[in-house]
Amino acid sequence: MKLTNKSLYSQARDAILNIIDNSTEFMAKLPSEQELSERLGVSRNTIREALKSLENEGFIAPRHGVGTFIIRDSKNIKSNIAVLDSFTKIITNHGYTPGTKSLYHDRRTVPEDLTSKLNINEDSDVLYIDRIRTADGKPVIYVEDYITYIDGMMERFNSIKTESIFEFLKSYDIKISFSSCNIYAVISNEKLQKKLSLKEPKALLHLEQVHYSTKGIPIMYSDSYFLSNKFDFNLVRKVID
């Protein structure tokens, strides 16, 4: 099937993802760039861009001089832990509709244990955001964010209708560039079970992150809890000669 009109890169990515979805073998080899280019009727540059996106998302792994191999199925929501994307983008990229439920936010004094992480005084304020992120209406992530407060931030957050905190921060000309992240495996407590609509304790992935601007200034601290049966975090590790 040839691809036409709508973003060729996006269509190529979806078509290759369909090949991955229909593969039942781990480390199955994808067709070459040339074969994919001919099959889909797009340039090799477009194929290369689509493959790079799927590599970053943890679906495939290229081996120089050998080929590109499937290292994940497409059933779960996947993210390359080395790539910093908003939850909205990660969920959308996997064909789900992102959503937010039980959103709560307020202005409060920064918790004592976050003063050094955000590099602010103990009497400084933060915008606290408590929310549950959903994929096709089902809870998949519980997040608590603490953002260094800027005058009028409560009012602006109320008025800007975006589910992405990264996009909200861009309204202040603040672009998140990187984060420092610690990952833990935890078992859900009563609070997390309620937030994620769990009937019994489940394994979760807990990400503690400090997000930094392009100037290297800490802007936001996040505690994020992911359903481990819904998310795969991938990192391709390479041997350095």
Q: Is residue 144 part of a domain?
A: yes
86 and 192, same domain (yes or no) = yes
The reported pLDDT for the residue numbered 239 is 67
Contact (Cβ atoms closer than 8 angstroms) between residue 204 and residue 186:
yes
Contact (Cβ atoms closer than 8 angstroms) between residue 195 and residue 142:
yes
201 and 111, same domain (yes or no) = yes
Q: Give the chain's domain count.
A: 2
54 and 104, same domain (yes or no) = no
Q: Is residue 218 part of a domain?
A: yes
User: Which of 70, 85, 106 is the endpoint of a domain?
Assistant: 70
Q: Is residue 172 part of a domain?
A: yes
130 and 203, same domain (yes or no) = yes
Q: Is residue 85 part of a domain?
A: yes
46 and 164, same domain (yes or no) = no
Q: Is residue 241 part of a domain?
A: no
Q: Cα separation of 26 and 44, whole Å?
A: 25
137 and 153, same domain (yes or no) = yes
174 and 214, same domain (yes or no) = yes
For the whole model, what pTM was predicted? 0.68
Q: Can you give the pLDDT of all 241 residues of the chain as single tens digits?
A: 555 556 888 899 989 988 887 876 667 889 999 999 999 999 999 999 999 988 887 778 888 788 888 876 555 666 666 667 788 888 887 778 889 988 899 999 999 999 999 999 999 999 999 999 998 999 999 999 999 999 999 999 988 877 789 999 999 999 999 999 999 989 999 999 999 999 999 889 999 999 999 999 999 999 999 988 777 666 666 666 6
- CATH number for the domain that contains residue 229: 3.40.1410.10
Residues 6 or more apart whose Cβ sits within 8 Å of residue 191: none
Q: Is residue 117 part of a domain?
A: yes
Identity of the amino acid at 139? P
121 and 16, same domain (yes or no) = no
User: Which of 45, 70, 95 is the endpoint of a domain?
Assistant: 70
- CA 218 from centre of chain: 19
Q: Cα separation of 124 and 98, whole Å?
A: 32
- CATH number for the domain that contains residue 66: 1.10.10.10
Q: Is residue 3 part of a domain?
A: no
User: Which of 70, 85, 119 is the endpoint of a domain?
Assistant: 70
Q: Is residue 168 part of a domain?
A: yes
Q: HSE (CB half, 13 Å, CA atoms) of 188?
A: 24
Residue 128's domain spans which residues? 77-234
99 and 26, same domain (yes or no) = no
The reported pLDDT for the residue numbered 75 is 55
Closest C-alpha to 130, from 100, 160, 161, 110? 100
212 and 183, same domain (yes or no) = yes
The reported pLDDT for the residue numbered 237 is 62
